[in-house]
Amino acid sequence: MAGDLDAYEVLVARYSALARRTAVLLGAGADAEDVVQDSFVDAFGSLHRFRPGAPFRPWLLRIVVNRTKNLHRGRRWRLVLELRAGIEPDTVLDPEQLALDGLQRHALLGAIRSLPGSYQLAVTCRYFLDLSEEETARVLGWPRGSVKSRTSRALARLRARLVDAPAVSRPAPGTAAREAEERR
């Protein structure tokens, strides 16, 4: 496969959507496309290290996870520098949040984001990306037992948090417009 651009093009076509979804779910937001493109470039440059016969998907997703982590580190560093310089940090709308539908989904994602980073990664890989424990272990570079324990602990925390959360109901259609009219 190394050097065969046609075969690699097939892999890019097959795994681009999954790689993008992974980047978005791990918090890349508007930078998800850049993360995916950089990940495919890195993967192509590292094909000589890919073990023949090993599954490509977990190997690629591990690269996407690492690229997304690097993005977060870079964002934090830029924010620190901006705050030191007295520059007002840019606020970027997260397209993921804009695309999510429903208050319950918003509450669930908020609960997932409140988890420690390793728990977020485990839940994202297992339930949003539908990876097996073994694939998750490969993607994250963890022992399989760590995937099991972190997933279990994350689910316990999510259950506790979501059970304690007040019931979420969607306002009736037109309610916001009526309330705005009443305030006039």
Distance CA 52, CA 104 (A): 43
**What's the mean pLDDT in 13-28?**
91
Q: What is the pLDDT of residue 43?
A: 93
Q: What is the pLDDT of residue 152?
A: 94
Q: Which pair of structure tokens corresponds to residue 50?
A: 């890919």
**What's the mean pLDDT in 10-16?**
93
Phi, psi of 169 (to 5 degrees): -130, 150
Q: How confident is the model at residue 3 (pLDDT cuts 50, 70, 90)?
A: low
Most confident of 62-71, 96-105, 165-174: 62-71
- Domains of the chain: residue spans and CATH: 1-93 (1.10.1740.10), 100-166 (1.10.10.10)
The answer, yes or no, to whether residue 7 has pLDDT greater than 50, is yes
Q: What is the pLDDT of residue 30?
A: 86
Q: What is the pLDDT of residue 183?
A: 40
**What's the mean pLDDT in 137-164?**
91
Mean residue pLDDT of the chain comes to 78
The answer, yes or no, to whether residue 161 has pLDDT greater than 90, is no
Tens digits of per-residue pLDDT, 106-150? 778 888 889 999 999 999 888 888 889 999 999 999 999 999 999
Q: What is the pLDDT of residue 39?
A: 94
CA angle 35, 124, 99 (to 5 degrees): 70
172: helix, strand or coil: coil
Q: Where are the beta strands (DSSP E) in the chain?
A: none
Is residue 137 within 8 A of residue 148, CB to CB? The reply is: no
